[in-house]
């Protein structure tokens, strides 16, 4: 009787070969992308997408070719934040067209494939029962396709907006072994930092992705009338101490600024209108730190 | 061994029976819904692939509800929702289900965001019943079946 390992083929499907073709295709597509940087945080709602959108436009203003992949498949927000949710991708040759934010920044997101409104991502299957056994695999395939089947063109940097969760970076790193590094986002609350601390360890020790540094978001509130700054969260545990504990760079703090939230809601560029605001300057300085780290 | 009969697909499983033309000995192949779905989830084609995948093929074909205006990937007869059905269809030159014009018109009158779901339900039912064409009658049956 033969054992599993004695079976010479998989019945003609050649699954291994098909998977390696997929990998090769992904590599070829990203050959002209110099750096891939993931924006991550174990904690939800801390501003990963906000930081991604703002950094993409900051780098673009500085003359770099930046692109954005929205890797949050179930809660995509980049297309909306960057004002391109009306773009309908179409295929041209062997890939699909990304949306172009401000005419220059290519964006690819699950959002562009979903009906407008509140339609969730539902994967077709003979039955939805037991979907927990395969959903994450379908998501990985979808993520691979969003990366491999998009006309990215030549990019200096691709920012990848991740979904919350310490595991998300590891999944991405499995798909893309050459990620340049990751930015970790936190807020100045003890709960966020407890969770984010684990993500930092996960990033460096398990996913083995270099941590570029920590971004502290919603750190203080700027009064809309007079520009006065005050703490948004009481207690305010200093995020730079978290950075110190993990021996990673502290890249700066972005205050809570209602105009920033408004711009993202409307899909307009905050940096275009408020480059001189405290938040605007903070974002531009984080972008400087990022391209210095990448040696762009 | 010659193909003797097949059942399903229903609820993600399918069985295919082969029998020996000489002595009548039969063997059956049963698919497991989870295994089938897991292999599908890799974005590979069961039975091997000779063509190049269309861009975002598995994303677009797996998304149950897709935005209007995004091109759908035309599933070939060998690329039905259940990969094993596809293989059997291809092997026996069985064509995919066809829709009669009135049935298609009725499908088109359904709001776009639920249309793919309805189409899938109706086609699944039709396959289960062994229908080759979907008519308005079949749609009525599915409706009655779902209301049960
Ligand atoms: N510095 C800020 N000033 C004002 N509003 C902000 C700031 N940072 C984030 N926001 C707002 O907070 C909300 C959550 O931010 P965002 O969506 O970027 O978080 P996230 O970490 O990406 O969330 P998720 O974990 O769900 O992906 C958004 O509505 C955003 O506009
Ligand atoms: Mg987000």
How far is the centre of ligand 2, averaged over its atoms, from the C-alpha of A93 (Å)? 31
Q: How confident is the model at residue B38 (pLDDT cuts 50, 70, 90)?
A: confident
* Residue A144 touches partner B, C-beta closer than 8 Å: yes
How far is the centre of ligand 1, averaged over its atoms, from the C-alpha of A35 (Å)? 24
Q: Which of A35-39, A197-201, A205-209, B2-6 has the lowest mean pLDDT?
A: B2-6
Q: How confident is the model at residue A38 (pLDDT cuts 50, 70, 90)?
A: very high
CA distance A179 to A167: 15
A257 touches ligand 1 (CB under 6 Å): yes
> Chain A: residue nearest B83 by CA?
A126
Atom of ligand 1 nearest to the CA of A50: 18
Q: What is the mean pLDDT of residues B119-143?
A: 87
Q: Which two tokens stand for residue A227?
A: 């520009």
Mutate to test the pocket of ligand 1, among A50, A109, A215, A216 (most ligand atoms within 8 A of CB): A50
CB contact under 8 A, A133 and B66: no
Most confident of the following: A243-252, B31-40, B99-108: A243-252
Tell me if residue A188 falls in helix, strand or coil: coil
User: Which of the following CATH numbers is that of domain B97-148: 3.90.180.10, 1.10.8.550, 3.50.30.30, 1.10.10.60?
Assistant: 1.10.8.550
Ligand having the closest approach to the CA of A54: 1
* Residue B68 touches partner A, C-beta closer than 8 Å: yes
pLDDT, position B79: 44
How far is the centre of ligand 2, averaged over its atoms, from the C-alpha of A164 (Å)? 7
A127 belongs to a structural domain: yes
Nearest-by-Cβ selection for B62 from A117, A138, A149: A138
* Residue A231 touches partner B, C-beta closer than 8 Å: no
A2 belongs to a structural domain: no
Q: What is the mean pLDDT of residues A47-64?
A: 97
CA distance A277 to B89: 64
Name beta bridge partners: A229. Answer: A222
A14 belongs to a structural domain: no
Q: How far is A131 from chain B (nearest CA, A)?
A: 8
Q: Which two tokens stand for residue A293?
A: 């780290």
Contact A77, A114 (CB under 8 A): no
Name beta bridge partners: A159. Answer: A37, A68
Atom of ligand 1 nearest to the CA of A77: 17
Q: What is the mean pLDDT of residues A216-220?
A: 93
Q: What is the mean pLDDT of residues A212-227?
A: 88
Count of domains forming chain A:
1
A17 belongs to a structural domain: no
Q: What is the mean pLDDT of residues A236-262?
A: 92
Q: Which of A134-138, A176-180, B29-33 has the lowest mean pLDDT?
A: B29-33
Contacts of A127 in chain B (CB under 8 A): 11-12, 33
What residue ranges do the domains of chain B occupy? 97-148
List pLDDT tens digits, range A117-133. Answer: 889 999 988 778 788 88
List pLDDT tens digits, range B55-109. Answer: 999 899 889 888 989 987 754 434 455 556 555 655 555 556 788 889 999 998 8
Contact A49, A78 (CB under 8 A): yes
- Non-local CB neighbours of A105 within 8 Å, separated by 6+ positions: A56, A57, A60, A66, A67, A68, A82
DSSP letter for each residue of A95-161: EEPPEEETTTEEEE-GGGGSPTTT----B--S-STTGGGTHHHHHHHHHHHHHHTB---SEEEEEEE
Q: Which one is predicted more confidently, B79 or A10?
A: A10
pLDDT for residue A82 is more than 90: yes
pLDDT, position A26: 96
CB contact under 8 A, A127 and B65: no
CB contact under 8 A, A124 and B82: no
**Which residues between 113 and 142 in chain B have a beta carbon less than 8 angstroms from any beta carbon of chain A?**
113, 116, 120, 124
Q: How confident is the model at residue A89 (pLDDT cuts 50, 70, 90)?
A: very high
* Residue A178 touches partner B, C-beta closer than 8 Å: no
Q: How far is A204 from chain B (nearest CA, A)?
A: 28
Looking up residue A83, the CATH number of its domain turns out to be 3.40.50.300
pLDDT for residue A34 is more than 80: yes
A219 touches ligand 1 (CB under 6 Å): no
A156 touches ligand 1 (CB under 6 Å): no
pLDDT, position B40: 78
A15 belongs to a structural domain: no
Q: What is the mean pLDDT of residues A127-141?
A: 87
Distances (CA, A) of A192 to A165, A199, A217, A244: 12, 11, 11, 16
Tell me if residue A279 falls in helix, strand or coil: helix
Burial of B33 (0-12, 13-18, 19+ CB in 10 A): buried
Ligand having the closest approach to the CA of A51: 1
Q: How confident is the model at residue A10 (pLDDT cuts 50, 70, 90)?
A: low
pLDDT for residue A253 is more than 80: yes
Range of the domain at A155: 22-294
- Non-local CB neighbours of B79 within 8 Å, separated by 6+ positions: B45, B61, B86
Q: Which of A55-69, A137-151, A155-169, B55-69 has the lowest mean pLDDT?
A: B55-69
Name beta bridge partners: A192. Answer: none
Q: What is the model's pTM?
A: 0.80
Work out the mean pLDDT of chain A and round it to a whole number: 92
Q: Which one is predicted more confidently, A55 or B117?
A: A55
CA distance A219 to A255: 4
H-only helix segments in chain A: 15-29, 48-61, 78-81, 135-148, 167-175, 190-201, 239-245, 258-266, 270-273, 278-294
A169 belongs to a structural domain: yes
A46 touches ligand 1 (CB under 6 Å): yes
ipTM, interface predicted TM-score of the complex:
0.83
- By percentage, how much of chain A surpasses pLDDT 90? 78
Q: What is the mean pLDDT of residues B21-26?
A: 90
Q: How confident is the model at residue A206 (pLDDT cuts 50, 70, 90)?
A: very high
């Amino acid at each position: 009787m033969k054992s599993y390992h004695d079976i010479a083929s998989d019945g003609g499907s050649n699954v291994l070969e098909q998977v390696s073709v997929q990998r090769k295709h992904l590599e070829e597509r990203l050959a002209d992308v110099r750096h891939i940087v993931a924006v991550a945080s174990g904690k939800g709602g801390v501003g990963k997408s906000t930081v991604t959108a703002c950094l993409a436009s900051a780098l673009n203003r500085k003359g770099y070719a930046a692109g954005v992949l929205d890797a949050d498949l179930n809660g995509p927000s980049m297309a909306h934040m960057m004002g391109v949710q009306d773009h309908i991708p179409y295929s041209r040759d062997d890939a699909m067209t990304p949306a172009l934010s401000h005419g220059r920044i290519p964006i690819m997101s699950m959002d562009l494939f979903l009906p407008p409104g509140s339609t969730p991502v539902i994967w077709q299957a003979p039955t939805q029962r037991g979907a927990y056994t395969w959903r994450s695999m379908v998501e990985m395939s979808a993520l691979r396709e969003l990366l491999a089947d998009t006309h990215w063109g030549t990019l200096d940097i691709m920012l990848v907006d991740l979904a919350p969760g310490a595991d998300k970076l590891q999944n991405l790193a499995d798909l893309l072994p050459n990620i340049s590094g990751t930015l970790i986002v936190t807020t100045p609350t003890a709960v966020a930092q407890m969770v984010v601390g684990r993500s930092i360890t996960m990033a460096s020790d398990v996913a083995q992705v270099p941590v570029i540094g920590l971004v502290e978001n919603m750190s203080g509130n700027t009064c809309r009338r007079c520009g006065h700054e005050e703490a948004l969260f009481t207690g305010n545990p200093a995020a730079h101490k978290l950075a110190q504990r993990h021996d990673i760079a502290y890249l700066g703090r972005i205050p809570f600024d209602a105009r920033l939230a408004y711009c993202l809601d409307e899909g307009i560029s905050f940096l275009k209108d408020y480059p001189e605001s405290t938040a605007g300057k903070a974002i531009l300085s984080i972008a400087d730190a990022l391209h210095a780290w990448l040696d762009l | 061994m010659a193909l003797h009969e097949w059942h399903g697909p229903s609820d993600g499983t399918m069985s295919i029976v082969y029998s020996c033309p000489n002595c009548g000995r039969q063997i059956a192949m049963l698919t497991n819904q989870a295994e089938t779905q897991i292999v599908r989830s890799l974005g590979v084609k069961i039975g091997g692939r000779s063509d190049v995948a269309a861009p975002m093929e598995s994303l677009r074909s797996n998304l149950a509800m897709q935005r209007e205006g995004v091109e759908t990937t035309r599933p070939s007869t060998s690329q039905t929702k259940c990969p094993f059905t596809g293989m059997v269809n291809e092997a026996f030159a069985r064509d995919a289900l066809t829709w009669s014009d009135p049935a298609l018109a009725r499908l088109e009158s359904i709001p776009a965001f639920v249309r793919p779901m309805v189409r899938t339900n109706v086609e699944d039912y039709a396959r289960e019943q062994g229908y080759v064409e979907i008519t308005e009658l079949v749609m009525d049956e599915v409706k009655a079946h779902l209301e049960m």
